[in-house]
Every structure is written in structure tokens, then in C-alpha cells.
Amino acid sequence: MSEIVLATPAGEEMILNMGPHHPSTHGVLRFIVRTDGEVMSEAKPDVGYLHRAIEKICEGMTYEAFMPYTDRIDYVAAMPANHCWALTVEKLVGAPVPPRAEYLRIITDELNRISSHHIMLGAHAMDLGAVTVFPWLLREREMVNDLLEELCGARLTYNYHRIGGVAVDMPAGWPDKVMRFVDRHGPILDELDRLISGNEIFVKRNRGVAVVTAAEARSYGMVGPNARASGVDYDLRRDAPYGLYAKVLAGLEQKGTPFEVAVGRDALGVTGDCWNRFYVRVEECRQSLKLVREALAQIQETPAGEFWTPPKKIRPKGEALGRVEAARGWMSCYVVATGEKTPYRAHFRTGSFTSMAVVRAKSRGLMVADLVALIASLDVIAPEIDR
């Protein structure tokens, strides 16, 4: 009877499929892994399993009717996608936005950023074996979901922003509930640090893994927390502010609690590694709490009532580019209009798409188990990649 050989001979590579349906791929994604034992020579992303032709659909929709579709670009953080579309069309038609609506956009964007980062932080820890963190952060995320549901009636795909404002004003008592969450959540983030950020096993699993330098981040077009974790000190909210972000940041500066862009550093991790990509998002939650607190303070000084000034006729002609700092980084929308009620062309640029490009290069020489840490740290989401 011949002997059954279970292991590959030395120097002979094996090709494995990770996904498209796999608990560590964070969406319908496939990675073609070439490995000799447990060490990979590469992991090649294979995307497109969730492609829905959303940009082509846009060409047959009116500008107003396309807003619900933007929720599906990033269903974990849909508010900034709503904001991006509204901002771009407002540039095309020159539509004014009431100050009250601008503050509500900031508040909802930042609350959604916190809830999105909670999914990433919890899933990153759980993928590496720390199961407790995920349901613990889901509890906090549910509190944000409750607030957003009370505001707009939805917990995931909001359809809240409008061209020229937002759909509804704050209900009575809602600002007080938001402030109670803000006051409560700061200590929760400190507890998160004690629970997992400085955990010896968690640090060892992430420190020095898949280091992306600042130069590499720029060359790959990485944006948002992934680029900032590599030392790229850039945030649209500070460096190219839109809406009333400049006024909110100025208010924080006057109060002695300035907005600080979270950037990777050599501490428990190495600049640009998986640990820094995790911890930058912890720090961003703290900064979002500052922004929500200040925006709530300033909105009290704006007149109640006017929250939406819809344009009478949306048939623009020309081109416009709108961009926002979404949860996964710089999201931009480019629209070409020809004077019809539907766009001629619309294109979205997202952080997940550009971040996926780095996986193939950074997977070389890693253990298969470290690929899980790399994917989790990039916080990619399938609909942002495929669209």
C-alpha cells in the first residue's frame, strides 16, 4: 500500500482559496493564497463578487432619487456617502445649505464614524481570537444605532441627507441623549485600551506585521485611517474642510480642546503596522466625540426650523467633484451633467478599493495567520470595492 503524503514537498507551493465566503474576509472577497507550508509567497485579491453596477444605475436615476443608492456604497458607514452625493450635486446646482443642516450632517457623520470603527475594532480583535471585544463594542454601536434611528427612522441605510439639507430636524430631547452618549463613551474608549489595545498577546500578533511606509501609502493611493497609520498626516476635515467643519474645529481650538488628527507612531506598534491601523481608529473615535460635542453646542445657537432648502429644479450642466472624510478615508464623487434630469456619468472613489491593492505586496513572507490580521487592519468592505 502506497504512503499518503499530506504535506507538500519542500519548495513546492500550494494554492489555497480564502473566501469569497470566509469569516475573516469581511465581505464577499476572495484571496488566492500561494503558500509553502504556513509562509505565503503572495495573497492575490480577487474582487467583483458584489458588483452591482451602481454607477451605471445612477445614469438612469434623477439626482434626488439616487440618494438611497449611496447608502449601499458603504452600508456600515452610509451617512458620509449620503453627504458626498449631496455635496457634489449642490456644487453642480449652486444649492445653499442651511447652517442647521450642516451641523446635523457633521453630527450624523461623526456618530456613524464611531459605529463603523466599532465594527472594525471588534472584528479585528475577534479575528485574532479575542472574542469578548466584538459583542462588547456591538453594545456601544447599538446605542449609536438607537440615536440615528430616532433621528431618521433607520439603523443601517439611512437616506437622511438631502440635496440642500437633511430630511428631518432633531426630535425633542435628542441632543440631550446624544450628549449622554458622548459623556459616557469617552471612559468606554479608555476601558477598550485596557482590555485589548495594550494586551500583550494582541500587541505581539500585530506589532511589525505588514508595515506600510508613508511613501508606500501614497504610492498605492491609500487614504484615511490606513494612510494616517503609516504617518501620512492628512485629514480632509482639517486640511480641506467642507460644510461647517472649519467653524467646529475653530470652536474646539478656542476652548483649548483642539481637533487632533490621529497618526501612527512607534509605540506599542511600529508606524504603519497592523497595530497602528487598529489604534488610529480608537483615537479617531475620541476625536469624533469632540466634534459631536462642539457641533451640538453650536447648533443651539442656530435658528430652529430651517433644515432643508430643496432646489426647485435639478437639471445642471457641467462637472463637479465632491469629497468627504468617510470612515474608510477620503470618499469622492465626480459627476458629469449635460442639463438633463439624470447625470451623464457619476464615479465614486473609495478608501477600500485603494487599500486592497497593498495586500498582494504586503502578504509576501507573512504567515497565513498574519493575513487575517492584515485584512482586518485595513477595514475593507466589499461594496466599497466593487460598487
DSSP string over 86-119: HHHHHHHHT----HHHHHHHHHHHHHHHHHHHHH
25 or 335, higher pLDDT: 335
**What is the mean predicted confidence (pLDDT) over 53-60?**
92
Lowest model confidence (mean pLDDT) among 20-24, 39-43, 176-180: 20-24
The per-residue DSSP string of 114-164 comes to HHHHHHHHHHHHHHTT-TTHHHHHHHHHHHHHHHHHHHHS-SSS---EETT
Residue 10: is its pLDDT beyond 60? no
Backbone angles phi, psi at 335, to 5 degrees: -125, 135
- Residue 329, in any domain of the structure: yes
Residue 26: is its pLDDT beyond 90? no
Q: Looking at the 3D structure of the chain, how many domains does it have? A: 1
Domain with 370, as residue range(s), is 54-381
35 contacts 41 by C-beta, under 8 angstroms: yes
pLDDT at 88: 96
pLDDT band with cut points at 50, 70 and 90 for residue 6? very low
CB-hemisphere CA count at 13 Å for 358?
Answer: 30
pLDDT band with cut points at 50, 70 and 90 for residue 47? confident
- Name the one residue in this structure whose C-alpha cell is 507538500: 8
Indicate the average pLDDT of the chain: 91
66 contacts 345 by C-beta, under 8 angstroms: no
- Residue 99, in any domain of the structure: yes
Distances (CA, A) of 138 to 123, 199, 289: 10, 20, 17
pLDDT at 9: 52
- Residue 226, in any domain of the structure: yes
- Residue 6, in any domain of the structure: no
- Residue 26, in any domain of the structure: no
Orientation angle between helical segments 133-152 and 99-127, nearest 10 degrees: 160
The per-residue DSSP string of 250-288 comes to HHHHHTT---------SSSS-TTSHHHHHHHHHHHHHHH
Distances (CA, A) of 248 to 162, 171, 285, 293, 314: 21, 22, 16, 10, 30
Give per-residue pLDDT as tens, 121-145: 999 999 998 999 999 999 999 999 9
**What is the mean predicted confidence (pLDDT) over 71-95?**
94
Residue percentage of the chain with pLDDT more than 70:
97
- Residue 31, in any domain of the structure: no
Residue 50: is its pLDDT beyond 90? no
The DSSP secondary-structure symbol of 222 reads: -
368 contacts 40 by C-beta, under 8 angstroms: yes
Lowest model confidence (mean pLDDT) among 20-24, 56-60, 221-225, 245-249: 20-24
Among 301, 310, 237, 227, which residue's Cα sits nearest to residue 271?
Answer: 227
- Residue 305, in any domain of the structure: yes
pLDDT band with cut points at 50, 70 and 90 for residue 49? confident
- Name the one residue in this structure whose C-alpha cell is 435628542: 174
pLDDT band with cut points at 50, 70 and 90 for residue 116? very high
Q: What is the CATH number of the domain that holds 324?
A: 1.10.645.10
Residue 5: is its pLDDT beyond 70? no
pLDDT at 4: 38
Lowest model confidence (mean pLDDT) among 144-148, 290-294, 297-301: 297-301
Residue 277: is its pLDDT beyond 90? yes
Q: List residues bridging with 32 in a β-sheet.
A: 17, 44
Our CA angle for 84, 87, 89, nearest 5°, is 110
- Residue 289, in any domain of the structure: yes
| CA–CA dist 253, 29 (Å, integer) | 42
200 contacts 293 by C-beta, under 8 angstroms: no
Residue 7: is its pLDDT beyond 50? no
